[in-house]
Amino acid sequence: MKPTLNNKLMTCAPILLFVYNRPAHTSQVVQSLQLNQLASESPLFVYSDAARTDEDVQAVEETRQLIREITGFASVTLIERDENWGLARNIIDGVTTQVNHFGQVIVLEDDLVVAPYFLQFMNDALETYRDEPSVGHIQGCDFTQDPSLPDTFLIKWTGSWGWATWDRAWKLFNPDGQALLNELEKQKLTYTFDFNGKYGYTRMLRRQVEGKNNSWAIRWNASLFLHNILSLNVGKSLVQNNGFDGSGTNCGGGGLYASNLHLQPLEVRKLSPIAEDPKARNAYVRYYARTNSFTAKAIRRIQRTLKGDFGA
């Protein structure tokens, strides 16, 4: 059955899945996708990075054995890297290649689990906002669990856990972190970019520039922010991140980013006006004020220590 919007036939967006050395997590995200009715109508592209260390070789191969047996999609295309690209280079290359070919993409990483109506929502949203130049990103995960958030809302912030975009928006992506940082500081936008100083997104970008992280997501966030491009976000989460178990490269956070999967369809209506929802922004400010304060961090550190986790 083809997805429809106002009785108009739609073509399902391709799904890009980026995997590395976590076969169990990869199995979970694939199985959750297969439970979506639109999986059989969706082409799947799986990007498998090569091992970075000798210790990773076996897990990478186990992951590749798993993805070679994937069924249940309109088509399955595997891209197995011969050398280690790292997540940022992999995503930038994969998204650029496929969005230029298809005009739209849905992007997932291997530590996510999606709800049964995730693909329906993403395809509906891609169609609804296709010709709205002020909207450049769709985010399927909500970790604030703030009951004041509406089912969907517009915000100047891009999450990276289960997202989608169009070629017109991806053209705005600037991989030059230094240029992005310079522009944020020049326009005196760092306070707003950091949700009124409550979360260190500017610091994250600065650390990317300094080579202390290699985040593609912070550069995508800053790129759209500087162009005043909005993201359609959800107040009921269709994505859950299961990567905070020590298995990933960037796996801190624990229960901070927990979400409850919404298991029913989530309607997509074109919002009016096309403008940032100030109440939604305030909800994020409250969330980061509560979870990123000195006291909150100190309490989490004590809790980790009591559990025997002496990491940073």
**What pLDDT is attached to residue 300?**
42
- CB neighbour burial string for 187-205, b if at least 16 within 10 angstroms, e if fewer: eebbeebbbeebbbbbebb
Residues 174, 221: Cα–Cα separation, whole Å? 10
Q: Output the CA–CA distances (angstroms, integers) from residue 135 to 96, 139, 150, 277, in the order listed.
A: 18, 11, 17, 13
pLDDT means per 10 residues, the chain with 312 residues, are 50 97 98 98 98 98 98 98 98 98 98 98 98 98 96 98 98 98 98 98 98 97 98 98 62 59 97 98 97 62 50 42
Q: What confidence score (pLDDT) does residue 302 get?
A: 52
Task: Tell me the domains of the chain and their CATH numbers.
Answer: 11-172+227-306 (3.90.550.10)
Which pLDDT score, from 0 to 100, does residue 96 have?
A: 98
pLDDT of residue 23: 98
Q: Given this model, what pLDDT does residue 243 score?
A: 78
